[in-house]
Structure 1
Amino acid sequence: MADFDVFNGDADGICSLLQLRLAEPREATLITGVKRDIALLQQVQAGSGDRVTALDISMDKNSADLQRLLNEGADVLYVDHHYPGDIPESEQLMAIINEAADTCTSMLVNKHLKGAYSRWAVVGAFGDNLKTSATALAKPLNLSPSELEQLENLGIYINYNGYGSDLADLHFAPADLFRALLAYSNPLDFVTDGNDDFAKLEAGYNTDMANAASLTPEVATDISAVYMLPDQPWARRVSGVFGNDLANKFPDRAHSVVTAKANGNYLVSVRAPLSNKSGAVDLCRQFATGGGRAAAAGINDLPADQLDDFIAALDAQYRQ
């Protein structure tokens, strides 16, 4: 019997798997990547008696390989909050799917585990920019304001680490970061024990966000704003958390962070207004390589000649 843990390389994916493996330790093959690497089941070769856990990756984007694994006899636990498409009917599949804008995979795993490691779920929710949901989830934990802030910052830093065009852009490969965090059943211990890993995450985040703070929007209306970032590692790392930061500062406005790519096209990150957490995935799916969820979505490779069309569509989406 072989085990495979397949997970998004962002905070939500990592914190989801942390909860599961703290509750049920396994020696599993880890399959992950940068945040935008979501068609991950294609890397799994599994059959009868094997177990596959898939976390925070769109079932719709992995549908063919999911069906292949089920046909080969693998048992699959699939937990996610993105658009799933058609969910296969199989006794070998346990699917926990919820597209609600106020939830994330970490929160779904937390419910599945009956709150066994809910502090890590709080970290994952903060990382997914679900501040209200994370704060509500943390309320029964009786955390001090300082401790809650530490969990929020950790979620932001882990999420920040997942962004890049490839693993070379990241401070830590997500699989390595997961292994480092697995030593801590309580995430506050990771923050406070003086380890170099946390210090590296925090310093990298602060440096890159300082670079982003000097940017002004390329286009801005009362409805939406678009920021253009250069083809640089710091810009690729900061693109997602910068979008979250903008959404928090201007909750009634939609935002897009558009990062130049070496091929001349653009990597696009979209955040719906916090006051109207809907429509982001509908917008992005109008373009090839687009996907995501209602509140946050993106386009992996927007052709340069479609940039103006995208900017117009962004404003139109939220002017309805």
Structure 2
Amino acid sequence: MLQGLPVERFDVCNGDADGLCAVRQWRLHDPSAARLITGLKRDIALLQRVPSTGASEVLVCDLSMQRNRAALDRLLDSGAHVRWFDHHWSGDVPVHEGLQAHLDFSSTVCTSLLMDRHLGGRYRAWALVGAYGDELTAVADQLGAASGLDTLHRALLRRLGLAINYNAYGEDPSDVCIAPADLYERLARHASPWTLLRDEPVIHDIEACRRRDFRVAMSVKPHWDSAQARVLVLPAAPWSRRVSGFLANALAAVHPAQAQAVATERRDGGFSVSVRAPRASPFGAHALCQRFGGSGRSAAAGIDALPANALETFVHALSQARWDATC
């Protein structure tokens, strides 16, 4: 009870593998009923959907505090208690008795791993699904091996993480196989990822969709290509909105010395852009995207709405960017 009133609980998270798996870990730890607020990959400003009831507990996972600061201040002022787990740049973190902030901006962590750290590794398999989905493959492999998982079982968790993550990309729910909130309901039926993989055919549907989309995407010629950077421009279509992040990651893995940008035409004009720093020098993507109103992490960031007339300016900035090998 808070302030003599029944406590309302809210789980607010990004709808990708990292966000959903972080919440899944917490609700295995604390199975209290909570209202889930989530969305597609670029639905960042989600905290504004939480009402200022005062007697509330709010769990926030994998969302930029900087992008949600006004809503956070409102909730804290109303008396809410907020737990925040995230690895994106936060800006200034408020000092408030109602806020517990678990933040780490290292390129080797994600929100699911922060939750895993906080809970002492009790739900390690779910944490690994989130880490694999967030493309922290080497980190997840090392942690999985140390936890006694063989190559096959680590590969299964990676498969699940990539599928959940792929399902988060789109401009609206009609673009994806299943709305992230509905996908979380499927996750919440299972204590472990192993039964989820066995019993939920939607995972196989997502994988089949990804393979089809990727084949189409690989036929697109680069808009810009040099030793330093590559830019692909995709047309406005459901497949292109789904594949953008996966395509950027795949190109970054194949070309570790080259920065990658996938610009996808939006329905309303302009572009959404997925940016990946070179794997060999994985620091600087967030700084570049911030110049164009975007955000993200040092290795992987994005721009939600790049004006059409700013595309060439962005291409030039990417081609001239200097990437850091150390943070």
Matched, 1:202 2:207: yes
> How far apart, in 2, do the equivalents of 1:265 and 1:48 lie?
39
Normalised by the size of structure 1, how large is the TM-score? 0.97
Q: Where does the alignment leave 5 or more consecutive residues of structure 2 unmatched?
A: 1-6
For 1:148 and 1:42, how far apart are their aligned partners in 2? Answer: 37
- The answer for the alignment partner of 2:3 in structure 1 is none
Aligned with 1:257 (options 246, 262, 268): 262
| Counterpart secondary structure, 1:318 | coil
C-alpha deviation, 1:215, in angstroms: 2.3
2:234 maps to 1:229: yes
Partners of 1:22 and 1:248 lie apart in 2 by 33
Cα distance in 2, alignment partners of residues 53 and 214 from structure 1: 42
8 Å CA contact retained: 1:10, 1:158? yes
**CA shift for structure 1 position 319:** 6.7
Please list every run of 5 or more consecutive structure 1 residues that lacks an aligned counterpart in the other structure: none
Matched, 1:15 2:29: no
Aligned to 2:4: none
Shift of 1:26: 2.1
Among candidates 295, 298, 319, match of residue 315 of structure 1: 319
| 2:128–2:157 Cα contact (<8 Å) kept | yes
Q: CA deviation at 1:185?
A: 2.1
Aligned length: 318
Task: Determine if the alignment matches structure 1 residue 271 to structure 2 residue 276.
Answer: yes
Question: How far apart are the structure 2 equivalents of 1:117 and 1:212?
Answer: 36
Could you tell me the TM-score, scaled by structure 2's length?
Answer: 0.94
Q: CA RMSD in A?
A: 1.2
Counterpart Cα distance in 2 of 1:188 and 1:273: 33
Whole-Å separation in 2 of the counterparts to 1:245 and 1:140 = 26
Aligned amino acid, residue 202 of structure 1? E
Deviation for aligned residue 1:189: 2.1
Equivalent of 1:240, from 238, 242, 245? Answer: 245
Question: Following TM superposition, by how much is the alpha carbon of 1:230 offset from its aligned partner in structure 2, in angstroms?
Answer: 1.0
Counterpart secondary structure, 2:160 = helix
> Helix, strand or coil: the match of 2:260?
strand
1:111 aligned counterpart, secondary structure: helix
- Deviation per CA, 1:22-72: give whole Å up to 9, x if none: 111121111111110110111111333310001101000001110110000
Kindly indicate whether residue 108 of structure 2 is the aligned counterpart of residue 102 of structure 1: yes
Provide the rounded CA distance (Å) in 1 between the counterparts of 2:24 and 2:131.
13
Q: Distance in 1 between matches of 2:323 and 2:214?
A: 29
> How far off its partner does 1:9 sit?
0.7
